[in-house]
Structure 1
Amino acid sequence: MNITTSIKTKIARIDTGEVFTYDTLDISQNEFSAAAKALSRMVFSGKIRRYKNGMYYKPKQTAFGELKPREDELLKNYLFENGKQVAYITGVRLYNQLGLTTQVPNVVRLASRDKEIRTKIGNLIIKPAKSYVDVTIKNVPLLQLLDVMKDFNHIPDMDKRTGVDFLKKEIETLSKEDKRRLTNFAKEYPPKVRALLGAVLESLSLDDLSGSLKASINYLSSYEFGISERILPTISNWNIV
């Protein structure tokens, strides 16, 4: 099967509106030139559209005209490389998705261990954020939980009780192994994150995990979250005010 036939076969399996790249099509380096020509011919014939250099999609016609790819589809291409996750959504966009804020920002933060992702997708402005731990598909939900704790004081219009209840519920539903991994990842985050996680773990009677965090924070330091003991009774054990 030649490269043109191979590409057409692979694209036929892709849904309309779904964005694809050379990686998606599993095109090897020595086939790039032939693949680029094949894709250009398909763009010219209208079978596919070029969103930007190296990114394509199959157009979908509706009664209101042609639909462009959804923003979340376009974002995927910055979250994955060669089938592996290298970045994840964080910041206010994430906190909106989690139901912690009603604000819908036009700036999206993508956290990566060793990449700074800056681009624009439609009306979205993509800016980089720091990942304290290597990004993998399995790690992302845990890192996003820790980011909620890191940004707890800066999540727009979030009620503190709502935020604490969210953390307790999410952590409680984790497997024993993921609770342990979450605790270990927290040790790479700033001390305030370790303090808040420790207080939440202690409130859930997970003393073996909270104990491992206690030694990692300075007992002379205090951590301001604006949380009262009515909301989280264990805060005094972690110098949280």
Structure 2
Amino acid sequence: MKLAEQIRIQIKKLPEGKTFGYADLGIAKEDYQTAAKVLERLQAKDVIKKISKGIFYIPQQTVFGELKPDYNEQLRPYLFEKGKRIAYITGAYLYNQLNLTTQMAFRIKIASRGKRIFINRGAVKADAVKSYAEVTDSNYELLGFLDTFKDIRKISDSNTANSVKLLSGRIEQLSEARREEMIKYALLYPPRVRALLGAVLENQKTSSKGVKKLKKSLNPLTTIKVGLKKSDLPTINNWNIK
């Protein structure tokens, strides 16, 4: 089968509004140059549209005209590589999605372990930050929670006590296995993250070796100052949190 026909068949399988790149079409790197010409012809016929270098989408037609992919879909090509997640959104945008703040971020932050991801294309603008662990589809939400503990005092238009309460509620809904996984990643984070997570889990009567590991990882002489009172989280004294 010729490459042009292969590309057309793959594109027909994609839904309108979904972004895609060369790898999503199963194109080998040595065929990229030839594929680029095929994709240029499809753009000229308005079969596909280009968002950025190497990233395209099938335009969605509605009664109100043509729609571009939504914000999250425009970000997808930067968060995944060859179908695997390599990054996640963190910072103010994430904290807004978690209902910890009402403020919206003009620029988002994208966390990845091995890749610096910057975006400045139209409405999509992002800065790169380094994640504390390799990012996967199964752990990025846990890393997001831990990022929130790390930035707990920096979240705009937010109350630390309320933020901890909201996060506690989300963590309580996790399975025991997921909480253990979160502890594993927390050990890679700064002391305040380990202390806050430990205090939350202890308050939820979570008894595991993981919680003991968190306690053991902390310097008993270090005080974690985040602006909490015992009425906010009853176990803070056990973790030198104030």
TM-score (norm 2): 0.95
Instruction: Find the residue that maps to 1:201 and give its secondary structure.
Output: helix
- Looking at structure 1, the residues matched to 79 and 147 of structure 2 have their Cα atoms a distance apart, in angstroms, of 17
2:221 partner SS? coil
Superposition CA RMSD, Å: 1.3
Q: Aligned pairs, how many? A: 241
> SS at 2:25's partner residue?
coil
**What is the aligned partner in structure 1 of residue 227 from structure 2?**
226
Task: Give the share of equivalent positions with the same residue, in percent.
Answer: 42
**Contact 2:52–2:121 (Cα < 8 Å) also in 1:** no
Q: 1:113, 1:135 within 8 Å by CA — same for their partners in 2?
A: yes
**Displacement after TM superposition at 1:157 (Å):** 1.5
Do 1:59 and 1:67's aligned partners in 2 also have CA atoms closer than 8 Å?
Answer: yes
Post-superposition CA distance 1:73-109 (Å, at most 9, x none):
1110110001111111100000111111111111110
SS in 2 for 1:89: strand
SS for the counterpart of 1:126 is strand
The match for 1:36 is 36
Does structure 2 conserve the Cα–Cα contact (< 8 Å) formed by 1:74 and 1:121?
no
| 1:177 corresponding residue in structure 2 | 177
Structure 2 Cα separation of the partners of residues 200 and 126 of structure 1: 31
* Mapped pair 1:196 → 2:196: yes
2:118 maps to which residue? 118
Partner of 2:77: 77
Give the drift of 1:162: 2.4
Offset, 1:121: 3.3
Runs of 5+ unmatched residues, structure 2 = none
Q: Hey, what's the Cα distance between the residues in 1 that align with 2:173 and 2:29?
A: 44
For residues 1-241 of structure 1, the aligned pairs below 5 Å read 1-208=1-208, 209-241=210-242
Would you say the 8 A contact 2:51–2:57 is kept in 1? yes
User: What displacement does 1:119 show?
Assistant: 1.5
Ranges in structure 1 where 5+ consecutive residues have no aligned partner = none
- 1:184-227 CA deviation, whole Å, 9 max, x = no partner? 11110001110111110110111323222111111111111111
Q: Which moved more, 1:152-161 or 1:89-98?
A: 152-161
Give the whole-Å Cα distance in 1 for the aligned partners of 2:98 and 2:117. Answer: 22
Alignment deviations for residues 160-198 of structure 1 (CA, whole Å, 9 cap, x no partner)? 332122222222121221111111111100011101111
3-state SS of 1:24 partner: helix
1:43 Cα deviation after fit: 0.6
The 10-residue stretch of structure 1 (6-15 or 154-163) with the greater mean CA deviation from structure 2: 154-163
Higher mean C-alpha displacement, 42-51 vs 165-174: 165-174
Does the CA-based 8 Å contact 1:71-1:122 persist in structure 2?
Answer: no
1:4 is displaced (CA, Å) by 1.1
One-letter amino acid of the structure 1 residue matched with residue 201 of structure 2: L
Whole-angstrom CA distance in 1 between matches of 2:124 and 2:73: 13
Whole-angstrom CA distance in 2 between matches of 1:121 and 1:204: 44
Over residues 19-68 of structure 1, what are the superposed CA-to-partner deviations in whole Å (9 max), with x where a residue is unaligned?
11101111112322221111111011111112222111112233443222
Q: Quote the Cα distance in structure 2 between the aligned partners of 1:103 and 1:121.
A: 22
